Chains A and B, each alone.
Chain A
Amino acid sequence: MNSGINKLGRRNFIKKGMAGFATLTVGPSILHGSLLNEEKKNPKIVTRKLGNTGLELPVVSMGVMNADNPNLLRAAHDKGIVHFDTAHGYQRGKNEEMVGKVLKDMERDSFIVSTKIPGNKFDKKSGEWKIKTDAEDFIEKMELSLERLQMDYVDILYLHARSNKEEAVEPEILEAMIKLKEQGKTRFIGVSSHRNEPEVIQAAIDSKVFDIVLTAYNFKQDHFESVGKAIEDASKAGLGVIAMKTQAGVFWDKKEKENKINMKAALKWTLQNPHVHTTIPGFATFDQMNEDIEIMEDLALSSQEIKDLKFGEEMGMLGLYCNQCGVCNGQCHKDVDVPTLMRSYMYAFGYNNLLQAKDTLSSAGLEELPCDKCEECNVNCKAGFDVKAKLQRIYEIQNIPDTFLV
Chain B
Amino acid sequence: MKKFVALFLSLLMVVGATSIAFADDTITLNFLYWADDAQKQLLTEACEAYEEANPGIKINAQALPADGTFDSYIQTRMESGELPDVSYMGESDIQKYDQMGILADISDMLESGAIPEKLSAVTIHNADGKVIGVGLSNQLVVLYYSKDKFDEAGIDYPPSNVEDAWDWDTFVDVAKQLTVDINGKNATEEGFDPTKIVDYGLGFNCLREFHQFWALYANGGGVVSADGTEFLWDSEASIEGLQKIADLMHVDYVAPQALYNWASDIGCVRDAINGGFAMFTNGSWDMANITAEDNIGVAVLPKMETAVTMNCGAPMVVYNTSKHLEEAKAFYAYMVDPAKNLPLIQSGAWLPNQADWYTDEDLLALWADDLPYGAKETILSYSNTEGSIAQWPAYYVMAYSDMSTVYEREIDAALMGNETVAEAFSKCMPEIKSLFEAE
Chain A complexes with chain B: no
Measuring CB to CB, which residues of chain A are less than 8 angstroms from any residue of chain B? none
Measuring CB to CB, which residues of chain B are less than 8 angstroms from any residue of chain A? none
